[in-house]
């Protein structure tokens, strides 16, 4: 019953837990039916593999009001409401880009072009902030406003802030909707990341994620 397989990505957020954006590059041109299935499949994964009892879906748009955005997004809204009425997912309506890091919803739905752009922008944040932080710390030490020991402590705390961006911790993400288990990792994945991908694949098999996806998508 899968129209198109999809891939998602984790994103850190202010609240505890993670935001999950789907799709992030597997599908550039999406019909409303595709976007709804992406939300349904990731909801199933979150429920059965991630232990999130009631993940909430938000449709990424240019405003929160119903009727905003393109015709595809307007139709997707209606289909997501219909899916919610059947108990397939929980739908919070439209969300905007500034809601992603706030953690307003646990699943953010968009096409692969938008999702991949957000993902690549997010990956640049640690490097950008690090480039601002390093000279600022050096200036504080040079001017005597901060001693070397304190600067080292602050630097360690600063690095800790970016732990949620560490892709090695997750290893990769599942390619949802394929006939089998497929985990997609970064081209520069380390042995640690590959190990975590193997654990993830094993977990998906144990939790029967694909079977649950097939059951839900076969429902009318």
pTM of the model: 0.88
CATH architecture for the domain at 6-120+164-217: 3-Layer(aba) Sandwich (3.40)
Higher pLDDT, 1 or 215: 215
Domain edges within the chain:
6-120+164-217, 124-163
* Interval 160-185: pLDDT, tens: 777 766 666 777 889 999 999 999 88
* Interval 64-115: pLDDT, tens: 999 999 999 999 999 999 999 999 999 999 999 999 999 999 999 999 999 9
SS3 of the chain: the string is CCCCCEEEEEEECCCCCEEEEECCCCCCCCCHHHHHHHHHHHHHHHHHCCCCCCCEEEEECCCCCCCCCCHHHHHHHHHHHHHHHCCCCEEEEEECHHHCCCCCCCEEECCHHHHHHHHHHHHHHHHHHHHHHHHHHHHHHHCCCCCHHHHHHHHHHHHHCCHHHCHHHHCEEEEECCCCCCEEECCCCCHHHHHHHHHHHHHHHHCCHHHHHHHHHCCC
């Amino acid at each position: 019953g899968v129209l198109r397989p999809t891939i998602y990505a984790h994103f850190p957020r202010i609240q505890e837990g993670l935001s999950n954006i789907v799709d992030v590059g597997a599908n550039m041109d999406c019909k409303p039916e595709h976007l709804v299935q992406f939300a349904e499949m990731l909801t199933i994964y979150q429920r059965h593999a991630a232990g999130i009892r009631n993940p909430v879906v938000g449709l990424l748009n240019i405003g929160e009001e119903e009727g905003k955005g393109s015709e595809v997004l307007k139709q997707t809204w209606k289909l997501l409401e219909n899916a919610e009425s059947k108990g397939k997912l929980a739908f919070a309506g439209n969300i905007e880009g500034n809601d992603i890091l706030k953690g307003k919803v646990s699943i953010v739905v968009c096409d692969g072009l938008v999702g991949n752009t957000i993902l690549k922008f997010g990956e640049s944040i640690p490097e950008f902030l690090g480039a601002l932080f390093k000279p600022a710390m050096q200036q504080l030490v040079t001017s005597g406003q901060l001693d070397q020991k304190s600067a080292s402590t602050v630097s360690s705390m600063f690095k800790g802030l970016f732990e949620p961006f560490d892709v090695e911790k997750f290893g990769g993400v599942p390619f949802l909707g394929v006939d089998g288990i497929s985990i997609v990792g970064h081209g520069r994945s380390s042995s640690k990341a590959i190990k975590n991908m193997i654990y993830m694949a094993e977990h998906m098999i144990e939790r029967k994620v694909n079977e649950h996806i097939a059951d839900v998508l076969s429902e009318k």
